[in-house]
């Protein structure tokens, strides 16, 4: 998984390349000023430290300040953060910094919308692996800032037996039993099931978590009753804000929402420069 520093270096190199030919041509390297980043939407802010680090990577003398912290609600028209220092440095880092914070704030904002819909429920909203390549760590961070929870970070930190694993192994029971022989006792096994036959197999094999994939609310209620608290229950597939309440009322423990990361819209911000 890429570190934030690696992502920032890559993003700056991608944008600046051999040099900012516009800024270098017309902005004196000694000219100083202030850049105020203005919210043009209402949103939950996430990624302030990432934005700060973008400026710091390019020019450690640029001073970054904000009255907000990640997780705060920002209103349209407010100053999200300000930077003070060499204007050439500020201009070169501007777009990269905004790309990070706008994307992460969009994820946090969408997540908060889902979480707020279930504010009177104990059901957890969790993310998926449907993330931007290389950005998984910071995108899942944004989900947490929005009030959601992280599913596994990757293929390496949790067993999730899905339909293609089951097809490759020849059945749910074989897949679970084979996995159990290969992992240590602290690792839980989750199994994705699509019908009651697969559910019965997963339960008899002792799965720790059952993922009910693309089932109707009535089917989910039937499955929850059959599971009877012998395993944790996750719902996935086709989840949206319109059916979220109906799914939560079925008695499940987790609702996984790929849209938190793959369909979040970046929020809008812009920088206004003052020289002095």
Question: How many other CB atoms are found less than 10 A from the CB of residue 97?
Answer: 30
Whole-angstrom distance, CA of residue 22 vs CA of residue 15: 13
Tell me the pLDDT of the chain averaged across its residues.
Answer: 96
Task: Name which of 145, 98, 121, 97 is nearest 261 in CA terms.
Answer: 145
Instruction: Tell me how far apart the 2 most distant CA atoms of the chain are, in Å.
Output: 72
pLDDT at 275: 82
Can you tell me the distance from the alpha carbon of 213 to that of 126, in angstroms, rounded to the nearest whole number?
14
Which residues of the chain, if any, have pLDDT below 50?
Answer: none
Structural domains present in the chain: 4-110+265-275 (3.90.1170.20), 116-262 (3.20.20.70)
At 1 the pLDDT is: 57
CA dist., res. 182 & res. 202, Å (int): 17
Active site residues: 95, 130, 162, 192, 213
């Amino acid at each position: 998984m890429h570190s934030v520093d690696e992502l920032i270096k890559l993003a700056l190199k991608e944008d600046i390349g051999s040099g900012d030919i516009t800024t270098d041509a017309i902005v004196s390297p000694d000219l100083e000023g202030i850049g105020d980043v203005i919210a043009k939407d209402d949103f939950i802010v996430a990624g302030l430290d990432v934005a700060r680090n973008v400026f710091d990577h390019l020019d450690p003398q640029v001073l970054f300040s904000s009255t907000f912290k990640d997780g705060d609600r920002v209103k349209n028209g407010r100053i999200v953060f300000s930077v003070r220092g060499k204007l050439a440095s500020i201009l070169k880092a501007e777009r990269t910094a905004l790309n990070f914070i706008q994307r992460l704030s969009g994820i946090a904002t969408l997540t908060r919308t889902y979480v707020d819909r279930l504010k009177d429920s104990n059901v957890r909203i969790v993310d998926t692996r449907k993330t931007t390549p290389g950005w998984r760590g910071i995108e899942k961070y944004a989900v947490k800032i929005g009030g959601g929870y992280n599913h596994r970070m990757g293929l390496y930190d949790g067993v999730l037996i899905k339909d293609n694993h089951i097809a490759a192994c020849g059945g749910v029971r074989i897949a679970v039993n084979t996995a159990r022989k290969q992992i240590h006792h602290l690792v839980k096994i989750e199994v994705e099931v699509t019908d009651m036959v697969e559910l019965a197999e997963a339960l008899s094999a002792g799965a720790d978590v059952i993922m009910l994939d693309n089932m109707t609310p009535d089917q989910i209620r039937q499955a929850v009753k059959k599971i009877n608290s012998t395993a944790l229950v996750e719902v996935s597939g086709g989840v949206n804000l319109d059916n979220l309440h109906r799914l939560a009322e079925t008695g499940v423990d987790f609702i996984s929402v790929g849209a938190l990361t793959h369909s979040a819209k970046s929020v809008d911000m812009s920088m206004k420069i003052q020289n002095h």
